[in-house]
Amino acid sequence: MIAEQSHGAHSAKVDMQLTINGDTIPITHMGSNFLFVDCSNDYPTCKASIFLQVDQSESRWQVILPNGISKNSKRVALAPCE
């Protein structure tokens, strides 16, 4: 019998969402000052909320979308909410 060894490897369950005025938009990638989203609508410059869940740990914070969201672009600029 061969025992499986993981060598500490772990595949985390990750969920990322952007919420704007009650609309939830899936985030596909996230950087320090940008997101990639899967969105078919345009949104103007606004405040939004990011939800991040990694396994059982959850975080939520407010951001500003200085250029809004264009349905023609997947990349969205972020700025800190002051």
Q: What is the mean pLDDT of the chain?
A: 91
pLDDT-based confidence at 1, cuts 50/70/90?
low
What pLDDT does 6 receive? 60
Question: Is residue 3's pLDDT more than 80?
Answer: no
pLDDT digits (tens, 9 = 90+) for 31-82: 999 999 989 999 999 999 999 999 999 999 999 999 999 999 999 999 998 7
Q: Which residue has the tokens 């914070």?
A: 61
What pLDDT does 59 receive? 96
Among 58, 47, 55, 59, smallest CA distance to 23 is for: 47
Instruction: Domain ranges for the chain, please list them.
Output: 16-80
Q: Which residue has the tokens 């952007």?
A: 18
Q: Helix (H, G, I), strand (E, B), or coil: what is residue 38?
A: coil
**pTM for the model:** 0.82
